[in-house]
A = this chain, B = another copy of it.
């Protein structure tokens, strides 16, 4: 068995290398590639993805897993090797259920979908995107059928991003959130709105950059194993084990954008940088799920970066960086300002109180599309109706409505819920962190984050993708993913800020 597991690691190591190679090419594409390189780059990436897929579906891999599994029954189920066999089997099974012809058609349909979406959004004209989206929806329904029988057609899609999680579980959680969050947003709307005009003054972009570097350095971002670069849309990518890169984009008259964006991506990066070295060059060297990953980015962005203790340390520094803009703005006013609640059209700009509502709306529409109870042509109307119900606003056009996100155009139906789940997990973990580190606030007020990072490393990061998200969250907090901590957090935070 020892040599069989070595063979498995050899195969998976090659697959991991192919994945990292794609990450390097993709990172380069979004940061430094000259525009004329785009066409050829697409072909190179497609070749690497095809080679990776071929290896994931190789009969040789299936045979190895068949041979290993009987022995693996007797291994400690939490051991690296047992988890590796389990995770490899899962991916092998998922991949081999999908015919190669489908993989090719899906790649073409989503390439076209993305093109049409870009044009549709520019023109704010949903009809340009409609037929491409109909094709994508049809293919995602077909994809689900490869995993029949299922309890819910959406299960197979969700499972791509949240291993093992079921649609019904998420619906129950969202049901609990919806009413409470809608009420909270309404209660806040009845209070006088906060003045945040100071956040829209001109803030030198290089100075924003330097401030962001200072913050994430104190968070523990390791510059020997990471970089921060500029890109149109911020992202985090592991280009190899121990080579984790993040991007950001300072905007002159939006102080919050790059500042919180950089902390957010740093949260993702700290997760990848904290993986146990034993997991290197295996599929376990990754986050447990998109939601768990998002819990890390949201924790550093919101629970740390939008907290009062954090700003007790950093606000004097920020004022020193921007004396003309912030010299006369007090800490309390600044803290309240960066936490302003304001229903808006755009998900990526949403505050903590409204964000999940954007997500629920999307998941409900996705489920209706998959179930066939909603036609693609009726999406814009259904979108606007829910926006009005949940947030009390109606987008002025489809560019700021149903066309705002790239996800559907690239086939990522099933992805959105992970953002809201990430928020829930972040606070659920945070309550445990606070119990384990009673003086956390005092540490943050000193700009000290080492104990927090150490806690996350030992409880979350080092495990990588060894456990399914629900298993991991339960292991760490004693309960599966739970909406109550998040609701407690929102109510407490906004009661104090808005005097509810």
Contact = CB atoms under 8 A, between A and B. Distances in A.
Given A17-B48, A25-B21, A47-B18, A32 B243 contact: no
Interface in A215-242: 222-227, 229, 239-242
A168 interface: no
Contacts of A241: 39-40
A41 B238 CA distance: 11
B41 A240 contact: yes
A107 interface: no
Contacts of A450: none
B36 A222 contact: yes
A14 B51 CA distance: 10
Query: Taking the full assembly, how many copies of this chain does it contain?
Result: 2
A28 interface: yes
Nearest to A19: B44
A455 to B, nearest CB: 23
Contacts of A374: none
Nearest to A50: B14
A185 interface: no
A35 interface: yes
Contact of A239 (B18, B20, B28, B227): B28
A34 to B, nearest CB: 6
Which of A33, A36, A39, A44 is packed against the most chain B CB atoms within 10 Å? A44
Contacts of A362: none
Interface string A31-62: 01111110111011001100100000000000
A293 interface: no
A24 interface: yes
B36 A224 contact: yes
A401 B243 CA distance: 37
User: Top 8 closest A-B pairs, CB basis?
Assistant: A37-B243, A40-B240, A36-B225, A17-B47, A36-B224, A17-B44, A40-B241, A36-B242
26 contacts: A13-B47, A14-B47, A17-B47, A20-B44, A21-B21, A28-B28, A28-B239, A32-B32, A32-B227, A32-B229, A33-B239, A33-B243, A34-B224, A34-B225, A34-B226, A34-B227, A34-B243, A35-B224, A36-B226, A36-B243, A37-B240, A37-B243, A39-B242, A40-B240, A40-B241, A40-B281
